[in-house]
Each structure stands twice: as C-alpha cells, then as structure tokens.
Amino acid sequence: MIHAKYAKRNRKKMRNRRNRTHSHSLRLSELQPGQKARIIAVRGGRGFRERFSGMGLHIGNDIEILQSTGNNGMILIKTGDTRLMIGHGMSHKIFLWLE
C-alpha cells in the first residue's frame, strides 16, 4: 500500500507534467472552421492510438477544420487529400499547434 504522502506527491507530479506537456496547445474540439493546425500529441490508450493511426492521422500531420457542428457534435477535418469526420470524444484527445 502506498503511503498517502507519496500518493499526493505523485498526483502533483503528474498534474505538473500534464500541464507542461500541453501548455501552449489546443484540443481539436476547441478549433473553429477554417483554422489550420499541426497534430502534436494524442492522449488515450493503446486502442485509441491504433484507431487514430488507422484513420491515417499521425503526429506531425497538418490538418484543417472544415466544419464543426457545435460543442458535442462531429468535426470534419482535412489532412492532405483525405476528409474525416471525428466525434467530440475523439477530438478532445487530440492536441494541436496552430499555424
């Protein structure tokens, strides 16, 4: 069993690491139509990362937001010659750098 003092310290370290990693980035769900960005990070488990790469998306890809249907709707993106619809849950796990 982990002592409470160490568990609290570990939570604090993880929170700081998480904030430092994505301090200047935006989530895909926060962008507006017409904005262009580059994928810099993906947050999720192995299944999510496999699905992400299976769709042809990779870290470093440039994307453009074509259409957004609101806060909890679908987002249409374009990467290269490919257009993809991404759900809100998935778009919330993708971090981008604005160009």
The pLDDT score that the predictor gives to residue 80 is 92
Domain range list for the chain: 24-98
Residues β-bridged to residue 68: 75
Architecture of the domain defined by 24-98: Roll (2.30)
Strands (DSSP E) contained in 1-99 are 26-27, 36-42, 62-68, 75-79, 82-86, 94-98
Q: Which residues of the chain have pLDDT under 70?
A: 1-23
d(CA 99, CA 90): 21
Q: Which pair of structure tokens corresponds to residue 91? A: 């778009």
In this prediction the pTM is 0.73
The pLDDT score that the predictor gives to residue 1 is 46
